[in-house]
Amino acid sequence: MLKLDLHIHTIYSKVLNLLDSSITFEDIISQAREKKLNGVAITDHNSLKGAMKFKKYVRRKDIKLLVIPGEEIKTREGDVLALGVEREIKPGLDLGETLDLIKKYGGISIAAHPYLRGIGEGNVRRYKFDGIEVYNSNLPLKHNLKAYSLSEELGLSKTAGSDAHFPKYIGAAFTLVESDLDADSVIEAIRKGKTRVFGKNTTPLGALVKEVERAFFKLRSFI
């Protein structure tokens, strides 16, 4: 079984053209070692740049860490995680068109945090997803439990990820995947539902404010 965090944002992630993560490549390597992760999915907002750069970085440094390229795509209906894609999908498309492109590019579609700023339960029922993010460490437990119940009802695969924007939260939620250590095998295993999910909540409001303050100073050099 592989231990994977399937939802991480890096310094290449932007919302409204503003950086929204303080996580560097070195942070990911350090936290992956500390949390004993076998791999990560880089899922920056509406961009594959960080994922592809990190994949090359790991290869160049000969680091034994599986990198699954991905993207958190803002559709007209809400957010979708595309895992296993190496061709960028632009934001703002209809949900159905986005899901078709993810499939066309060889990836899998995951309904990200469907009960909070996600696409909503109705769209998960209406469209054909490969899976649901049933544990996101940024969310209240009630939202994760509802997502888990929905995946059970619909027979969809389950994933978990930290949705980390700050280094120490990497690995706070993770997915165990019954797979070989390569991206294609992991994507196929997730598609077939060979997963188990684990996690904990990480961002009470007070702690989040402090993290944002720290991140601002860290990110100034990248702006």
Domains in the chain and their CATH numbers? 2-222 (3.20.20.140)
Radius of gyration of the chain (CA): 16
Bridge-based pairing of strands 79-83 and 108-111 is antiparallel
Task: Give the C-alpha separation, 137 to 120, whole Å.
Answer: 18
pLDDT tens for the chain, 223 residues long, are: 999 999 999 999 988 777 789 999 999 999 999 999 999 999 999 999 999 999 999 999 999 999 999 999 999 999 999 999 999 999 999 999 999 999 999 999 999 999 987 799 999 999 999 999 999 999 999 999 999 999 999 999 999 999 999 999 999 999 999 999 999 999 999 999 999 999 988 765 444 544 554 555 455 445 4
Q: What are the Cα distances from residue 85, in Å, to 80, 103, 135, 179?
A: 13, 9, 22, 18
Dihedral angle over CA of 54, 55, 59, 62, nearest 10: 60
Is 122 buried (19+), middle (13-18) or exposed (0-12) by CB count in 10 A? Answer: exposed
Query: Tokens at residue 33, please?
Result: 């070692």
CA-based nearest residue to 142, from 116, 118, 168, 160: 116
* Residue 166 DSSP label: S
Task: Give the C-alpha separation, 93 to 146, whole Å.
Answer: 26
Q: Given strand 79-83, what is the order of strands in its sheet?
A: 157-161, 131-136, 108-111, 79-83, 66-74, 39-42, 2-8, 173-177, 195-199
Beta-carbon neighbour count of residue 191 at 10 Å?
17
pTM as predicted: 0.90
